[in-house]
Amino acid sequence: MLYAVRYGQFKLLSRDANGSQRVAQFCMPGDLVGLDAIATGRHNFRLMALENSEVCEIPFAGVTKMMASEPAIQRRFLQSMSLALNDQYGRSSLLSLASLDERFASFLLQMGERYSRLGYSEKSFRLSMTRGDIGSYLGTTVESVSRLVSRFNAQGAVSITGRTVDLIDRDHLLSILSSEDPPFQAASNNLSGSRH
């Protein structure tokens, strides 16, 4: 089975080499989940809802049958696979950033871009995940995330209260990133192309 997120948000969980559970990705409406099972017949990740959410279950056998007769569906499915690969590359790029400040700045900018693709503000949004989830995703601790929030608030780049985020100075966030390249553009695997 493949799963398309209809509404709400999820976290995708995996286990590292030591058996510890890690957040591998945050999934938003339009994202297609479960592509990893195509090669092996087995899902390697666990999907957990962060809020009231819903997925649409899609039998892979039905998808392959439709692709044979509907070129548009085949194109869309291949695009979704490509976006999933880009997401994985983006996750690796995020963890390769030298400092936690860079990772956190990139994470906030990515989330803003993903909300923008759904038709919401890229500067003001709500995080459905906990600080512990964010720490797991960024490869750090919940205490470090709390310190990052306090520091970024003090710098005036953002205003983060609870789970509400306001990106006040995007240029400052971009300047935190050491690379001259723009931060990874998080892919939103929007299957329907609709705006909410």
Residue 173 and residue 65: Cα distance in Å, rounded?
46
Please tell me the pTM assigned to this model. Answer: 0.77
Residue 113 has which token pair? 């871009």
Residue 159 and residue 161: Cα distance in Å, rounded?
6
CA of 65: how far to CAs of 39, 59, 68, 70, 84, in Å? Answer: 17, 10, 5, 9, 21
| Distinct helix (H) and strand (E) counts, the chain | 7, 9
Q: What is the phi-psi region of residue 126: left when phi exceeds 0, alpha when psi lies from -120 to 50, beta otherwise?
A: beta
Q: What is the DSSP code (8-state) at residue 113?
A: H
pLDDT tens across the length of the chain (196 residues): 888 899 999 999 988 777 788 998 999 998 888 887 887 888 888 899 999 999 999 888 888 888 878 888 778 777 777 776 766 666 666 666 668 999 999 999 989 998 998 999 999 999 999 999 999 999 899 999 999 999 999 999 999 999 999 999 999 999 998 654 444 443 333 433 433 3
In sequence order, the β-bridge partners of residue 10 are: 27, 49
196 close to 54: Cβ distance less than 8 angstroms: no
Instruction: Tell me the per-residue pLDDT of 60-79, one tens digit each, with 9 for 90 and over.
Output: 888 888 887 888 877 877 77
Q: What is the set of domains in the chain, with CATH numbers?
A: 2-95 (2.60.120.10), 98-176 (1.10.10.10)
Residue 47 and residue 43: Cα distance in Å, rounded?
10
Q: What is the 3-state secondary structure (H, E, C) of 17-30?
A: CCCCEEEEEEECCC
